[in-house]
A and B are shown apart, each in its own frame.
Chain A
Amino acid sequence: MNLFGMLEVSGSALTAERQRAEVVTANMANAETTHTPEGGPYRRQLVVFRAQRMPQFGMFLAGLGRPASSGVRVEQVVADTRPPIERYQPGHPDADSRGYVAYPAIDPVEETADLLGAVRAYELNASAVQATKTMIQASLDLLK
């Protein structure tokens, strides 16, 4: 692990959190979607994070053969297993024979909280990048 490897760790977190925010906003946008190409209502999507070893870029430059710290990545995006919510709307084109329309089981409050969490984590890692940059700058100043 060197200073530049640290940037990669934070960078992986930025990517992962942005992906999470994208999935959450897609959920919010499709909270009322009753029709999808796969058929049926939209299914709420969830991201699964996993710690990963970062590629040892630049080991020959400054690395000392130490184990690299772990970054993070989105391992998979899974569909929520909660059943859709049924609303009685007989005139709706997607209504079944009983007159019920299946809506996605999406709670706006839950999604908002999740989005806030993603944004906070993104900000945290962005400040970590800033901190790393300061350290790199300080060590470069040694050359002056």
Chain B
Amino acid sequence: MINDPAIESLTRFLDLSVFRSGLILANMANVDTPNYKARDINFLAELEKAGGGMELASLSPVAHAVPGLIERPDGNNVNLERESLLLADTQMRFNTCVELLRDRFKMLSSAIHEGSGS
């Protein structure tokens, strides 16, 4: 197989982005649910944890309640601005990562094809 550490770490980054987006979407879906508490991951810490050469399948980020959010009288503390910005942010990171991955694949592909010429 192709052992490119860049591809592996980019994949981890993508995986974490998807996980985080899932949490953001869940927070958004529960914007009117009484007693719901917003959840998130510590992205950088999770990325570092995942960076230690672990297999992808064992990557299991821990979601925790977001501290410091103002709670409404119904016990819900989802902040729409926070979630919207975070979703946009995560999406940008995701797209950047996809572009970088595509670039890596293109390099691999050209390495394969250039070789066939000579």
Contacts and interface: CB of A to CB of B under 8 A. Distances in A.
Contacts of A72: 29-30, 32-33
User: Which secondary structure characterizes the binding site on chain A?
Assistant: helix
A13 B61 contact: no
A69 B22 contact: yes
Contacts of A135: 18, 21, 91, 94-95
Contacts of A12: 29
Interface residues of A, number: 38
A132 interface: yes
User: Which secondary structure characterizes the binding site on chain B?
Assistant: helix
A27 interface: no
A132 B84 CA distance: 13
A116 interface: no
B interface bracket (residues with beta carbon within 8 Å of A): 35 or more
Contact of A134 (B57, B91, B105): B91
A114 B25 CA distance: 22
A131 B87 contact: yes
A63 B33 CA distance: 26
Interface in B62-96: 63, 80, 84, 87-88, 91, 94-95
Instruction: List 7 tightest A-B contacts by C-beta distance, closest first.
Output: A13-B29, A69-B26, A1-B22, A49-B33, A69-B22, A138-B98, A72-B29
Interface of A: 1-3, 5-6, 9-10, 12-13, 16-17, 20, 48-51, 64-72, 117, 121, 124-125, 128, 131-132, 134-135, 138-139, 141-142
8 contacts: A2-B18, A9-B25, A13-B29, A69-B25, A71-B30, A72-B33, A132-B25, A139-B14
Given A10-B28, A71-B30, A134-B95, 7 more contacts: A6-B21, A9-B25, A49-B33, A66-B60, A71-B26, A121-B31, A135-B18
